[in-house]
Every structure is written in C-alpha cells, then in structure tokens.
Amino acid sequence: MTISFEGRVAIVTGAGNGLGREHALELARRGAKVVVNDLGGARDGTGGSATAAESVVAEIEAMGGEAMASAASVTDFPAVQKMVEDAVARWGRVDILINNAGVLRDKTFAKMELSDFQFVMDVHLMGSVNCTKAVWEHMRNQNYGRIVFTTSSSGLFGNFGQSNYGAAKMAMVGLMQTLSIEGAKNDIRVNCLAPTAATRMTEDLGARLDLDTLRPGLVTPGVMFLVSEDAPTRAIMNAGAGNFERTYVAYTKGVYIGSGDDAAERVAAAWDRISDREGEIVPESGAAQGMNEVQSALKAQGKA
C-alpha cells in the first residue's frame, strides 16, 4: 500500500528547518499541498523572519509541488487563524496539522526564571492548542482530520535541566488523549510523536550525537503514517535513527487496601505488589481507572 496525500492540504509548524522541513518536503513529495509555517526565530524563540519558510516553499515548488509560506507565531491565535483561513481560501480545506514548532530555554529548575518556564509552555502547549483550535471546526465539518503533536522523551521520561520543556511535552500527551476521543465521530485522528534527531534544538549535545545516524529525515516516515488515511489514533510513536517504537500510558492491576487507621502502612507494605507490571492496563479513557477501581473494591468486599 502506497501512502499518498494527493488532494490533501497540510500545515506543518516549525517547518523552516530540521524535522518540520523534512515533514513538509515529504508531504509535498507524496502529493500534499503544504503550508510551511515558521516564525524564523532563534532556537530560544527570539527574533523572526519568513526566510526559512520561504526557502522550503521554494524547494517544494522546485519539485513541482504547491506550497505557501507563513511566518505566523503559533503563540498568536489571530495570526494562526489567518494562516488557516488563507490555506482554506487557496485550497478549500485543511486535512493535516503537524504541530512541530518549539523552542528551548534549558536550565535547572533552581536557576530557571518563571518567564522562561512560561514562554516554553506558551510555545509548545498553547502554540499547539492555538493551531489545533484553528483547524478543528474545518476538520469537523469535513469529517476528516489528522493531527500530530510533538512530544518528547524529556516529557515522557524526564531530562535534567528541562523541567519547562518536559512539562510542555508531557502536556501534548494529555491533549492528544482527550482530542482523540472528542474527534473520533468526525474521523479526526490525533497522535503524538516523540522524535530523536540531530537538529539545531539538539546541537548543544555536539559530539554525543551521531549526526548521520540521527538525521531528521529518518523520523519522517513515521509521521507520514500518523497523518495517513489509515492512521491510528491515540498513539505515542517514538522515532529516531530509523527505529520506531511505541510508548503506552498504562497502570498496574494494583492491590485493594481499603480503609482503616493503618491503611497508609499497608500501602507502604504492598508497594512492590502495587508496582508489579504484570497484567498492566491501557485504559480506553480516564474514566476507566475509576470503573476498574470500583470493580476491584466490590470484588474484594465480596459484593461483585
């Protein structure tokens, strides 16, 4: 089966360089019309220029594709709305949104200014919210949409000096979980990508990275699947160096403790059993946790 995007319209944020550029070029190669969004700022989010986006548009046009540039900041909702309206005015629809734009302002939490924490949250979380909100009704009305949020191992598993980035990236997962449920009836499929790639966002790692093995283009095939017609939904895909894995948010079967003056002590004593991952559960929604807990309690009490 060949994945084709003929007749589809895609928006890729942060597409002037790195991962976003690779995603945009491959979408175009496979037939999509692409909005190349990039503020053109520095890695920490300062400055701005349309040059990066325009350069990628020129690459797409040189291969015979159709594209338009946008220098809208994802933190500016009216500008994002106009970007989407311009795409709809030109091509009639928006089918795909890849939320890739991001910034870094790394420091330990002890040394980090709250303004740097807030700014990273604004770009990653609210930037993704803004772009998704701007396309949501279009996708609902056409009963079709594919959305990818870019999460990170720093959010899923933690990374020293990246409390702001990690918090924002884990928020992508929570956003995906709910929007995938809300979008299901209109065939809006929502997934997360956790990429590993050598880009300007990771350049400080320098010699620790094998630049060829971790080139951004090796992540893009996974993204193409996540925004394809046969895409899954509510998936967290990890990708890097040509490898693709999946992360699950799961919880253990647990142990019934009940109440009593020594309940806390019994929790402590049972912690290893509580933590046993055999038979762990991947719930269909957040409500499943409460339902499973009630059923377990009733069973332990002989009421079920």
CA dist., res. 125 & res. 102, Å (int): 9
* Catalytic entry in 165, 248, 251, 256: 165
Write the CB contacts of 127 (distance below 8 Å, at least 6 apart in sequence): 13, 73, 74, 75, 99, 101, 102
User: Measuring CA to CA, which residue among 240, 271, 239, 242 is closest to residue 255?
Assistant: 271
What DSSP string runs through 49-110?
Answer: -SHHHHHHHHHHHHTT--EEEE---TT-HHHHHHHHHHHHHHHS---EEEE-------B-TT
Residue whose entry in the numeric block shows the structure tokens 């007749």: 7
Active-site annotation holds for 165: yes
Which residues are registered as beta bridge partners of 168? none
Q: Are 83 and 138 in contact (CB under 8 A)?
A: no
CA dist., res. 273 & res. 113, Å (int): 40
CA dist., res. 185 & res. 3, Å (int): 23
Continuous segment of H or E residues that includes residue 239? strand 236-240
Retrieve residue 30's tokens. 């496979």
Q: How far does CA 143 lie from the centroid of its chain?
A: 21
- Count CB neighbours of 124 within 10 A: 29
Residues annotated as catalytic are 165
